[in-house]
A and B are shown apart, each in its own frame.
Chain A
Amino acid sequence: MSKSSDGGIDLTRPKIIGAPVQRLEDPRLLTGHGKFTDDVKLRGTLHVALRRSDHAHARIGTIDTAEAEEMPGVVGVFTAELLDALTRPVFATSKMKDYHATPVRALAGGKVRFAGEPVVAVVAQSRYLAEDALAGIEIDYTPLEPVVDPEEAAADNAVKLHDHLPGNVLVARRFGVGDVEQAMGDAPIKVGGRFRFHRKTPTALEARSYLADYDQGTRALTLYASTQVPGIVRDALVEVLDMPGSKLRVIAGDVGGGFGGKASLNPEEILVCALSRHLGRPVKWTADRVEDLISTSQSFDEIVDAELAVDQDGTFLALKADILGDVGAFSIYPWTAALEPMQVAGFLPGPYRVPNFSANVRAVATNKAPMGPYRGVGRPISAFVLERLVDMAAKKLAMDPKEIRLRNFVKEEEFPHRTGSGIVWDRSGFTECLERAADAINYPALRKRQAEARADGRWLGIGIASYAELTGIGSRLSAAPGMPINTGTESATISVDSSGAVTAHFGIASHGQGLETTLAQIVAEEMGVRLEDVEIVQGDTSAVAHSTGTYASRSAVIAGGAGTLTARTLRGKIIEAASHLLDVDMADIDFADSLISARGTNKTMSLRELARAVYSQMGSLPGDIRAKVDLQASEFYDPHFGTTTSATHLAAVEIDPETYEVSIEKFVVVEDCGRVINPMIVDGQVHGGVAQGIGAALFEEVVHDVTGQNISATLVDYVIPSAAEVPSMEVHHLDVEAPSTLGGYRGMGEGGTIGAPAAIANALNDALSHLGVEIMELPMTPERLFQVISAAQDGEAESS
């Protein structure tokens, strides 16, 4: 038998890390036994219905609630007047220069700033009765000019959303490296234009839901919340409600998806807590689908004017961009309005050498729902813009899109590489992912087939998108630069209880990623116990002293690292205790599959027997040893910088030349996420991410009319791809070099959404290349294709 040096792990037994074990949470979720926030039933619960603003921008005059208060089952009708007295406003602050924060409040007071903003809360015996009473509220609004167009909103003379601020631009920043103007001026070839990515909303299967339960006896408040960030919400509520953290607990039970839409503090979370404390009763609000579509944070709303300069052999010389992010009415807590547009700029240079780079970024407030994080945050836009530019340059040079990428990727010997925006890439498989994707799809044969299809009048297109992202970001960088929260560390606490069961406490909050499984895999393998013996506690602020949650592709890396360190410490304690109990050297203790044995003897003991000896048999261990081998451990992990994850997406699409319907024929993803903890879960994450990327590329768009009304507020009008629209896809994993993260993990939960829109945009463009059009806008809906193609064909007709 082979032995490793650290504590005698048997290398011949099957590994748990890397195995496609079935998700531990699935039996309960698939049999309907999951417990989501709305499933939590507490005696005496009151229900909230919200009267939301039907104006995008208006001053609130008198609010007459008298009729509503008299309606059956109504307990109270509340406005900002009371809520402002019950709570303290919270601001998403930042140390960034030229940044302006806006308050987060439970209910709008003074002014409404988007259609859908909560104004009045009815609390009643049931949600039905609460909704009935909404009709009994009269609000006297004085309409203000709606600020809908982001460019107009950014103008000096624009109508202001926030009277206390100098204008609507909430943050402005410029950064870059080298002399872009000089390089652009000298460059032989330049490509560019205006790119538009339209607003998208996360649309989790479970809409947001909050239930606050104030206990008048203990003066403690528990918030059950469908959130990705129970820790951030708890810490904010400490300030908002002026209560100690010891009296505030936030529990995110089963959460049915988040995608960033549950990663911020929301007004309704503050509202139910304040009302529960005020009324002394449990208070619940669950968003219906319309509320979800009009009020949950939205994203990806950017205008990017960008230009890329290349020399005759295709080498990139310079890249510049002007990025205008439409961040909606408020700077979201805690991420701020800077989050999304700044990430667009930060990741714009992509996985390439770009010697001269400059980006000018502005985040501008408009009368729309606030922009928040959404799977991919900014990077889907970066990848769309850059990868389109790369293809435009290749076309101008008559170079194959694959070749121009290979020529410009950061090469193996050039890592670590600092990009023009300041991001440092550690070694990742930029080149390898593209080469492997091209092999997987048989790129030369596909190009040949494309040529044949073209000859038959078919519009077949091939699109490549390569990107890199930073994941598992540690405290030296932070996923939230300048913000008063720490997202870069995690701690874990693992204990073996008196029955020998292992419970591991984490600060993350799984909301569909299968973290209960992947973290259990890490703990089980690192400790030496069976997977089924590990219980993961997460999504509960009482689990650890400090936590934030799950977002930014951080949990497998950072919580995985904390779990690894803690499991190793606890394993050491178990082996030390066993050495005394079995009376053999620590070096001769084997501990695997929850069984402890003394090598070369027939002495064994189960973890349960060991726990009983440690906890209950007082004579079994000397006192000084007993104090050392307490069966719990807590360790802290900080990856300091984080690590690079990269991928190439390759899409083949066909456009019907008459109806302009798009079908995705093939979709290949090759990604380097380092060591894979569970390939089945990683594949699932890629599939889901690509599906959302397809939505962003072809279907999903939050549409506002000129008055600022959201006219895509149902799932009939906000079109998310269904199973029929998502092709089967091929996913390959590379692990080119172990990163510096503990365990060798790289984050990968968002990547699918980053690459797919760009790959599909390039494929559409390729399919239409004979028309000489450029795809500059996403989603490329059938209507937009019709417009683009009709314009090109009209132009052709005119010129012929």
Chain B
Amino acid sequence: MKPPPFAYVTAESIEHAVAELARSDGEGKLVAGGQSLMPMLNFRLLEPSVLIDIGKIPDLTGISETGDGLSIGALTRHVDLETSHLIAQRFPVLTEAVKHVAHIAIRNRGTFGGSLCHADPAAELPMMAVLLDARICVSGQGGNRQIPADKFFLGALTTDLEEEEIVTRIDLPYLPESTGWGFEEISRRSGDFALAAAAATVSLVDGKISEVRLAVTGVDDLPLRIRAAEDALRGSELDDAVFSSASQIVRDAVNPNSDVHASADYRRHLIGVLVGRVLRSARSRARGGA
């Protein structure tokens, strides 16, 4: 279990990294935290010609306020998301989700941008990007662009990134006042990838749902927002019957895989249970509960 031979370049700037990627003609890989890439190299699932280490590029870390949201550098490590007061204050659902990302040692190395680019279909952070309407900022040879999270993920381990593009920042627009949230995940063990996970935000106006977002992961090829369930919930009273029908909509909408851990049927069953739970948590928090 040793990696195949590869060249190694330390990128000094975003432009340098983009140029090296372009020069590698599709054969290069960026490495940041390396928490997914290094095992894949050791299994020889990938044989890149060059590893371009972006870990030393300045200004790709940190969490800052932009006026209408938070802007998070792509190299921000999971542990820094987990312990950030700004995130805890503005996006407590993200703080909760990050606790479920693997184990402490991995959270100390892995990066937000890396997790999004890897696009594991059972990972937490891609789901959070989709839930929170993240705008993923990328730089490439043609300049910069922003990709909405729900257009960024295309399938398992597949994103909208061009071969020479690099994720630089992730912008998260603030949620409305009096928004409650819920996050639930079922995994075989603490720290494992999700068999199923769900997250919701619920914003209330006059006791009715004014805005609702519902995202799931582990139950399809990519993290999903379940818009049909959101539509059913929006404007409704917050009763359990509506939540049940939302759960059913989600079960019908997803297309889970079967593997050694769980069948598609069990994953589908689980996601319905979790959707009910996250909606109840979000309702309780939106009403001022803990």
Where the two chains meet, the residues of A that have a C-beta atom closer than 8 Å to any C-beta of B are: 127-128, 131-132, 288-290, 658-659, 661, 699, 701, 703, 711-712, 716-717, 719, 721-722, 724-725, 781-783, 786-787, 790
Contacts and interface: CB of A to CB of B under 8 A. Distances in A.
A290 B42 CA distance: 11
Interface stretch (B105-113, B137-145, B201-209, B258-266): B258-266
B98 interface: no
Nearest to B3: A128
B1 A290 contact: yes
B190 A661 contact: no
A719 B44 CA distance: 22
B284 to A, nearest CB: 18
Given A724-B189, A783-B261, A787-B266, 17 more contacts: A127-B2, A128-B2, A132-B5, A290-B43, A659-B186, A661-B186, A703-B260, A716-B193, A717-B259, A721-B189, A722-B190, A782-B186, A782-B188, A782-B266, A786-B266, A790-B265, A790-B269
B58 to A, nearest CB: 33
Interface string B5-27: 10000000000000000000000
Interface in B167-224: 186, 188-193, 195
A701 B188 CA distance: 13
Contacts of A661: 186
B270 interface: yes
Contact of B261 (A128, A289, A717, A724): A717
Contacts of B1: 131, 288-290
Contacts of B189: 699, 719, 721-722, 724-725
B273 interface: yes
A659 B273 contact: yes
A725 B260 contact: no
A314 to B, nearest CB: 38
A782 B195 contact: yes
B4 interface: yes
27 contacts: A127-B2, A128-B5, A131-B1, A131-B2, A288-B1, A289-B1, A290-B1, A659-B273, A701-B260, A703-B260, A716-B193, A717-B261, A719-B189, A721-B189, A724-B190, A781-B261, A782-B186, A782-B195, A783-B262, A783-B263, A783-B266, A786-B262, A786-B266, A786-B269, A787-B263, A787-B266, A790-B265
Interface of B: 1-5, 43-44, 186, 188-193, 195, 259-263, 265-266, 269-270, 273-274
A721 B260 CA distance: 16
Contacts of A703: 260
A631 B182 CA distance: 73
A724 B191 contact: yes
Contacts of A782: 186, 188, 195, 262, 266
Contacts of B43: 290
A724 B100 CA distance: 13
Contacts of A719: 188-189, 192, 261
Contacts of B186: 659, 661, 782
B4 A132 contact: yes
Contacts, number: 63
A695 to B, nearest CB: 11
Given A288-B1, A659-B186, A661-B186, A717 B260 contact: yes
A290 B1 CA distance: 8
A712 B260 contact: yes
A459 to B, nearest CB: 14
A339 B193 CA distance: 37
A786 B190 contact: no
A457 to B, nearest CB: 15
Nearest to B273: A658
Contact of A659 (B3, B260, B270): B270
A35 to B, nearest CB: 22
B44, B193, B260, B269 interface centre (most CB from chain A within 10 Å):
B260
Contacts of A721: 189
B191 A722 contact: yes
A703 B190 CA distance: 21
A716 B36 CA distance: 13
Q: What are the nearest 8 A-B pairs in CB distance?
A: A288-B1, A724-B190, A786-B266, A658-B273, A128-B2, A131-B2, A703-B260, A719-B188
A463 B80 CA distance: 43
Nearest to B1: A288
Contacts of B260: 701, 703, 711-712, 717
A786 B265 CA distance: 9
A161 B193 CA distance: 38
A699 B186 CA distance: 14
Nearest to B5: A132
A787 B258 CA distance: 14
Contacts of B192: 716, 719
Contacts of B273: 658-659
B150 to A, nearest CB: 27
B2 A699 contact: no
A368 to B, nearest CB: 15
Nearest to B195: A782
A428 to B, nearest CB: 36
Contacts of A787: 263, 266
B260 to A, nearest CB: 5
Contacts of A786: 262-263, 265-266, 269
Contacts of B261: 717, 719, 781, 783
A341 to B, nearest CB: 25
Contacts of A712: 260
Contacts of A722: 189-191
Contacts of A725: 189-190
Contacts of A699: 188-189
A657 B261 CA distance: 19
A721 B187 CA distance: 12
Contacts of B44: 131
A283 B60 CA distance: 46
Contacts of B269: 786, 790
A452 to B, nearest CB: 24
B29 to A, nearest CB: 18
A458 B266 CA distance: 20
A196 B79 CA distance: 43
B272 to A, nearest CB: 9
A160 B259 CA distance: 30
Nearest to A719: B188
Contacts of A716: 192-193
B288 to A, nearest CB: 26
A699 B43 CA distance: 24
Contacts of B195: 782
A216 B195 CA distance: 56
A310 to B, nearest CB: 36
Nearest to A126: B2
Contacts of B2: 127-128, 131
Nearest to B184: A659
A131 B41 CA distance: 12
A695 B263 CA distance: 20
A771 B193 CA distance: 31
A781 B265 CA distance: 14
Contacts of B263: 783, 786-787
Contacts of B265: 786, 790
Contacts of A781: 188, 261
A790 B265 CA distance: 10
Nearest to A128: B2
Nearest to A287: B1
A783 B259 CA distance: 10
The residue in B1, B3, B191 that gathers the most chain A C-beta atoms within 10 A of its C-beta is: B1
A409 B188 CA distance: 37
Nearest to A724: B190
A712 B259 CA distance: 10
A128 B3 CA distance: 7
A431 B259 CA distance: 44
Nearest to A711: B260
A131 B5 CA distance: 11
* Most chain A Cβ neighbours within 10 Å, of B2, B5, B259, B273: B2
Contacts of B270: 659
